[in-house]
Chain A
Amino acid sequence: MGSQRIQEKEVEAPIHGDILEAILSHVPLIYLLPASHVSNHWNGAVSSSLRYVNPVKPWLTVHTQNSRAPHVIKSYAYDPRSRSWIKIHAPQINHTSALRSSHSTLLYTLSPAKFTFSLDSLHLEWNHAPSPRVWRVDPVVARFGNRIVVAGGACDFEDDPLAVEMYDIDSGNWIQCESMPEMMEDTTASTWLSVAVAGEFMYVTEKNSGTLYSFDCKTMTWQGPYELRREESVFFSVTGMVRNRLVVVGIVGDAENVKGVKIWEVKKELGFETMELCAMPKEMVKKLIGESGNGLLNSIELVCIGDFVYVYNPSEPEEMVVCEVLQGGGCEWRIARNEVVNHDARMGRVVLCGGDVRLEDLKSAVSGNCRFELVQV
């Protein structure tokens, strides 16, 4: 009798086991949340599909801010797992100043009155802090665990343009740190610098020279300069973290004659020697340069999250090149059009960030009144 009932059930729901997991591997993460509420069996199939068939991959988040009405922010995400764009309907945070991002995981705003920052993967929760003592326009900002460092970018009228301060989230206090090395005097603004955080260290690289400095968060002191030496002539470098590896992405050649874009791993223990990981395919370099505009590639921006490196040209942001650095060595390149820029971001700021978004994060976001919707391309 018992076995007959099971048999009946199987006839009723013939799609189960491996083939159900195969179907679920094609379902975008946001719809796996409803799918996990279908039944206990489906809940198990969702977990198992995410574990073995098509695992969760970190999201690229794109936030557009209306330049006239800074409180109007729209958030989108690109999920490389299903190669789909998602609109995030989150309760509005009433930002009054420009949204910025740093080292691919930190979002913040800074005004003379207030410093706000968000550390969670979907950037739904915001912390509010008093502004640092030295007023800064465009500083380098980096997060280490419960501390946030704000360096340089000071206003002209401040005594020390190289001043560095650290905010302790637990105590709510700003601590003064050693100022940035004097050699950086002309380039303290984040426009000129690329920031990466590895453990207790912040690496700050001058984009044009490829000169790197490191800041030890424990001792609150600076080291460097170090030269990121590469065999070819690189005229623009930006850094990021791929898993636990410091990488530098550089444009080879010169601005008038771009020869290529390459990724190197930086070996700190070998005195910041670089080792080539891979080169971007030529046709993708062409996409980055773009057809309109002046046909030059002066600069690139990066978002590095997990094993993914998103490279884009800030003046042609529609075309984004994604590189997945594979665990076993080698890289996979592809193009991901930034559909959001196409949609409605032309009028304002576009801020890119990344986050390790798991099913659990979506769950808590949904219980916090957040909704997700697939963007139909």
Chain B
Amino acid sequence: MAEEVSSQMNSLSISETNPSSSATISLVSGDDIVFKVEPTIAKEMETVQSFIDETDGKITTIPLPNISSHDLPYVIEYCEKSIAGKITKEFEAEFVKKLNNEEVKELFLAANYLNIKKLLDFLSQVIADRIANKSVEYVRRYFGIENDFTPEEEAKLREELAWTFTGVDPDDEDEN
């Protein structure tokens, strides 16, 4: 998988400056898979870039223990498109179509950890869209949140504001 990703990198002409002259950066996922990326990609990830800057570029292997080898390729794909200025509505729609709810959440946390503002904004909107029109119960399950209202409070809310608990769309369970 790692080789496959790095070969994709090479086939892309990303930057006008000669990319072969600068050393590639190795990102190591939480499950110890190495992804080689161009330094321009690393620049998109503020957390990675500040790590490189702090060590004056001497260290080019960066461990990302919070991000799995499943999620990292998506993040890299988004960053590539972002550098190429090719983030269109169509690309975003295609990109998000591939992801189930759990993956969206994981990528969102990855984007937050790596501090990639564009991806974070985009995924915030995706999550916001996925919880719109849904019931309270659905949102609780989606985010793994424990209901901490007292039974009395909950009953009162349900009675007064029934609409907010039923939601408009049926709760789709199978997506996870």
Chain A contacts to B: CB under 8 angstroms: 9, 12-15, 19, 22-28, 31, 33-35, 37-42, 363, 366-367, 371, 373-374
Contact = CB atoms under 8 A, between A and B. Distances in A.
B136 A38 contact: yes
A363 B164 CA distance: 9
A27 B136 contact: no
A19 B128 contact: no
- The 7 A-B pairs of least Cβ separation, nearest first, read A26-B128, A34-B164, A27-B128, A12-B144, A367-B160, A23-B124, A26-B125
Contacts, number: 87
Given A39-B140, A367-B161, A13 B145 contact: yes
Nearest to A89: B163
23 contacts: A9-B146, A14-B109, A15-B105, A15-B108, A19-B108, A19-B109, A22-B120, A23-B108, A23-B127, A24-B128, A26-B124, A26-B129, A27-B131, A28-B132, A35-B131, A35-B139, A37-B136, A37-B165, A38-B139, A38-B143, A38-B147, A42-B145, A367-B161
Nearest to B125: A26
B109 A34 contact: no
B144 A373 contact: no
Interface residues of B, number: 34
A377 to B, nearest CB: 13
Contact of B135 (A28, A34, A39): A34
B131 A40 contact: no
Residue in B132, B140, B164 with the greatest tally of chain A CB atoms within 10 Å: B164
A28 B168 CA distance: 14
A37 B127 contact: no
Contacts of A37: 136, 149, 157, 161, 164-165
Interface in B113-149: 120-121, 124-125, 127-129, 131-136, 139-140, 143-149
A34 B134 contact: yes
B78 to A, nearest CB: 17
Nearest to B147: A39
B124 A34 contact: no
A19 B145 contact: no
Nearest to A19: B112
